[in-house]
Amino acid sequence: MKISIIGSGNVGATLAKRVAESELADCVLLDVVKGVPQGKALDLLHAAPSVGYQKKITGTNDYNDTKGSDIVVVTAGFPRQPGMSRGDLVKKNGSIIKAVIKNIKTTSPNAILIIITNPLDAMAYLAYKESGFDKSRVIGMAGTLDTTRFKYILASEFGVKYKDVETIVLGQHGPSMVPLLSHTRISGKPITEMAKKDKLEELKNKVRESGAKIVGLLGKGSAYYAPSAACFEMIKAIVANNDKILSVSCLAQGEYGISGVFTGLPVRLGRKGIKEIVKLNIEADELKALKESADSVKEMISTL
């Protein structure tokens, strides 16, 4: 298997490290800046004897080196700066996505695309339109990250291990994301039986603000350890073909009453990408919030 990562910044390089150490696939790290992907690839290769991986790692500025990739992960783009919304990035990163996809659809026409570039849902939609790929092969990394962040917040709040938290976050990767309390359990107990409404709202707001909090703390750049880990979880599910349900940004065509937009929904992933969008029984207020979240993505897409 061959995985190409477009963009060798913090997210791309950290993801390359995870892929290399897992020995899931050969890895190509591509960037427009000469020397950077080559240097990071060489650094990863120098680590191989110590860590024990043997897969091929290539750093390049040439899309021809990505030819025949099974999975292409797109991280290239400008990061959020303090005070900057994801919406501010739409036009700035839209041109980058168009250029990347133009190359990828030529070199790897059968690849599964995973988009990480922000604003995530809008960029995944743009990648889908520009590539002409089947909807099953264009996926945005969003809900998987938001879900892991929410798990951390809940485990910390209730003093349990991460494995004892069951939850899922749907909707836009942004302020209108929808943590599903109806599908959240702490050590098997519904969270709605463990906290009052105001506390639950506080916890939901914490996950909505997680990305911006990291941007503010760093002062320059944005999160990369958790995003790369979330993307790697998606890659593992694709490679394993194990029907694991994850929240990802995908094209809705009537599911949950949403159509014509990319937003975070529960799916089963496999070797060909998205096998199906899973229908969960959710509360009426959650469904309403999910539709409103999708509408906010539509508004963002209209500016492309």
Q: What is the residue extent of each domain of the chain?
A: 2-140, 143-301
Give the model's pLDDT for residue 243. 86
83: confidence class by pLDDT, cuts 50, 70, 90: confident
The answer to whether the CB of 258 falls within 8 A of the CB of 290 is yes
CB 249 within 8 A of CB 141: yes
215-263: pLDDT as tens digits: 899 998 889 999 999 999 999 999 999 889 999 999 999 999 999 999 9
287-304 pLDDT tens trace: 999 999 999 999 999 888
**pLDDT tens-place string over residues 28-40:** 999 999 999 999 9
CATH architecture type of domain 143-301: Alpha-Beta Complex (3.90)
pLDDT-derived band at 87, boundaries 50, 70, 90: low
Q: Look at the block and give the residue holding tokens 């739409």.
A: 90
Summary mean pLDDT of the chain: 96
- The helix (H) or strand (E) run that includes residue 175 is none
Within 10 Å of residue 107's Cβ, how many Cβ atoms? 17
pLDDT band at 79 (very low <50, low <70, confident <90, very high): confident
pLDDT reported for residue 143: 96
How many angstroms separate the CA atoms of 94 and 266, rounded?
25
63-84 mean pLDDT: 90
**What is the separation, in whole angstroms, between the first and last Cα of the chain?**
34
**Helix residue ranges per DSSP H, the chain:** 10-22, 36-51, 90-107, 120-131, 143-158, 197-208, 210-218, 225-240, 284-301
Looking at the chain, the whole-number percentage of residues with pLDDT higher than 70 is: 98
Share of the chain above pLDDT 90, in %: 90
pTM as predicted = 0.96
The per-residue pLDDT for range 137-173, each reduced to its tens digit, is: 999 998 999 999 999 999 999 999 999 999 999 999 9
d(CA 17, CA 21): 6
In the predicted model, is pLDDT for residue 199 greater than 90? yes
Task: Work out the widest C-alpha separation in the chain, in whole angstroms.
Answer: 56
The residues annotated as belonging to the active site are 173
Angle at 18 between CA 17 and CA 19, to 5 degrees: 90
Of 58, 230, 267, give the one whose Cα is nearest residue 147: 230
Superfamily for 2-140?
Answer: NAD(P)-binding Rossmann-like Domain (3.40.50.720)
Pairing state between β 2-6 and 26-30? parallel
Confidence (pLDDT) at 278: 98
* pLDDT for residue 86: 61
